[in-house]
Structure 1
């Protein structure tokens, strides 16, 4: 089954008074853990199959006030736990580039809907990589903003310290325009005449698919030709970053779902239950140690970004996986999120954008990361890259149905 969206009644679309706003007429879908008043908000789970949101999430209200038309809620991994968006409760989503492959997760429906042209812009949420992985897998552009910049009211939580909401669209310009509305501020003024762009080689070459390394290398050369300076810069503590994020996220998940795990564990999908249950094994001492490591990493990131403006890395180390093929669910999540989780530990923005095509025919994505609150920098650089390349203009060959 290929489930992408659930249509929202027309009267729940835009604010009629805002028909001339900055997003007037833009079709926007929102991930199904983001509340739209009067509409089912299931979080992709049987637990919430009949749950109807009383009010709009803050981000949805902002979009409506800007004239956007909220057309749909979008399929996702159950409770935003997972990287493949294969969901036995709501139906799995497939990648529009190849229906045998995953669309990434947990915001898989958001990536698919944008890539297939079902919506102009989609909202996703990102805790460990759930905007960036679907963007990379589906060949679109997606922004994980700095943590705490956007109001998360009306969005079901995964881990409060890492949860973000952000836009996916075909182009960085569309992402910028949507983010400006969500943030309530202009993000076009970043000075990007000559940026210092770091390419940390352990992130770019170690245990990375060679075709992805080639695409990143070509992107580096394009950025150099645009007049920016490529610099060497290691990412401090990167070897432990993924484990730190896992410890904190899974302990938060176990706390959030403790009652459900105790009372009705079989109502969870098996893969979700397996991953949430990992948090039950994390002690208070382990969590406290991870918090200290998080703070140390963020301090090191702040110091690093005094010497560089942007860090460029791949979005994923591997080609887009086939559905149901390969590693077990936890191992697959670790592998796909190997390069996104470290930037979740950082509290600044990361943007994923398409930069090539794998020999398999699937998109290849890169990440641009900047200092906290420097969304304008990564967006401006991405717009420059997209002005001189056409990876973001490619259209997928697979027709995606909007069946519920």
Structure 2
């Protein structure tokens, strides 16, 4: 692969990163570095984010030749802050899968174990960061697409407060739920990139002191290794002086279904002609997900919107008494690539704990909190806050990382 700052002369290099297939294209660095808060930071961007002069493929046969005329707003902001946009990164087709396997660029492999998925849909972003190919990566998150791969690849990933970062130049999944955010091994870098990208200055927020710990969240079917690691994370936070408060999250079991309905209704509208006239150009798993939207009727959407409103109102009441909520990111160990099970069931299962926080109107941060005893794969915990309270997430994560070392582990150190 090219050295830092070099670009391939080939216009298309599907195996620009032959070890993990996380990179779609290496990009040349033009001109002198801009002096700013991100000077010299190597940033990779998910391949649904426009980079001027480069195809924005979305890992889809429909978009392989769609060359961007302009940078996305977030890419412009990063360049203005001194960052080097060094690569476009692999992903799940159309950003709606949980494994980042696609038929255009091929499957991204997890640097911790190449037999396993990196999560999705921002799997290339997480894998490139974990492998040290970039310092920071941008991903998008609709139902968990930053948080799931962050957990699977042992890095930090932020789903920011929806509406606080400019999405122009990003191929949408859902106008109601889409976000864009950073993944990195360094919490300082995640915070610095977020500061550069957010539209408005961060609001003044008091330091978090009370952490909600759900008595049960969505399901009791949590992998024992995951449950234990997240439990130890919560215990450490308690030892650090945070007050741990048992809570119930309202309507958590139904939240995933509500997000599904609202997201897939939008997706079907966006891709209806392609589904009708060229279904064979979709990857089979993608087409199966899109067809979920074809089965929705108006009553389903009315019910989903009502549940969304009830969920948010209930969560507002919960946050009246606490500052943060901690839950696992993935309910299971990181799955193998060669999982021949039902694709829709796999999507449901892997996103079971991330979708509720997509229905929430605030930010969520996934941080590494352990390694699975059997597989030695990373385990992540989600920390969730009220809208605009990213600083509370960073404060709690920084306190936790000051007394633990999970965030310092890299793939080659896990065996």
Structure 1 gaps of 5+ residues are 399-404
Structure 2 residue 57 is matched with structure 1 residue 39: no
Do the aligned residues in 2 keep the contact of 1:204 with 1:213 (CA within 8 Å)?
no
1:217 deviation in Å?
Answer: 1.3
- Pairing 1:270–2:276 present: no
1:394 and 2:409 are equivalent in the alignment: yes
**Structure 2 residue 37 is matched with structure 1 residue 22:** yes
User: 1:324 Cα shift?
Assistant: 2.1
Distance 1:352 1:40, change over 3 A: same
- Of 163, 177, 181, the residue aligned with 2:178 is 163
Alignment of 1:61 with 2:79, yes or no, is no
Q: What does residue 333 of structure 1 align with?
A: 347
**Equivalences for residues 207-286 of structure 1 within 5 A:** 207-286=221-300
Q: Partner residue of 1:358?
A: 372
CA distance, structure 1, for counterparts of residue 149 and residue 24 of structure 2: 18
Distance 1:201 1:138 in 2: 27
Aligned equivalent of 1:321: 335
Following superposition, the deviation at residue 171 of structure 1 comes to 2.1
Give me the whole-angstrom Cα distance separating, in 2, the residues matched to 1:52 and 1:287. 35
Tell me the distance in 1 between the aligned counterparts of 2:369 and 2:69: 41
Deviations 1:254-305 (A, max 9, x none): 1111011011110001110111111000012211221121112112112211
Displacement of 1:7 in angstroms is 3.0
- Contact map agreement 2:202 2:388 (CA 8 A) in 1: no
Say yes or no: does 1:137 pair with 2:155: no
Find the aligned partners of 1:363 and 1:188 in 2 and give their Cα distance.
33
Output the CA distance in 1 between the equivalents of 2:220 and 2:27.
48
C-alpha distance in 2 between matches for 1:27 and 1:78: 24
Could you tell me how far apart the structure 2 residues matched to 1:44 and 1:188 are? 37
SS in 1 for 2:183: strand
The root-mean-square deviation of aligned C-alpha atoms, in Å, is 1.8
- Name stretches of at least 5 consecutive residues in structure 2 with no aligned partner: 1-17
Contact 1:236–1:301 (Cα < 8 Å) also in 2: yes
* Cα pair 2:52 2:67 within 8 Å, conserved: yes
* Cα shift readout 1:226-253 (whole Å, capped 9, x = no counterpart): 1110001100111211111111111111
1:10 — aligned with what?
28
Deviation at residue 326 of structure 1 after TM alignment:
5.3
Query: Partners in 1 of 2:257 and 2:28 — Cα distance?
Result: 44
Deviates more, 1:66-75 or 1:280-289: 280-289
- Alignment of 1:374 with 2:389, yes or no, is yes
- Rounded to whole Å, the distance in 2 between the matches of 1:205 and 1:242 is 12
Q: CA deviation at 1:188?
A: 9.6
- Structure 2 CA distance for aligned equivalents of residues 284 and 316 of structure 1: 31
1:174 equivalent in alignment to 2:192: no
Give the structure 1 partner of residue 134 of structure 2. 119
- Pairing 1:303–2:321 present: no
Using the TM superposition, give the Cα deviation of residue 190 of structure 1 relative to its aligned residue in structure 2, in angstroms.
4.5
Q: Distance in 1 between the 2:241 and 2:204 partners?
A: 18
Deviates more, 1:321-330 or 1:252-261: 321-330
Match of 1:198 among 187, 190, 212: 212
Distance in 2 (CA, whole Å) between partners of 1:57 and 1:295 is 31
For residues 149 and 327 of structure 1, the distance between their equivalents in structure 2, rounded to whole angstroms, comes to 37
TM-score (norm 2): 0.92
* Inter-CA distance 316–9: structure 2 relative to 1 (3 Å threshold): closer
Aligned mates of 1:124, 1:364 — CA distance in 2: 19
Cα distance, 1:203 vs structure 2: 2.0
> CA distance change for structure 1 residues 275 and 204 in 2, over 3 Å: closer, same or farther?
closer
CA–CA separation in structure 2 for the residues paired with 1:216 and 1:31: 28
In the alignment of these two chains, the number of paired residues is 395
How far residue 149 of structure 1 moved from its aligned partner, in angstroms, is 0.9
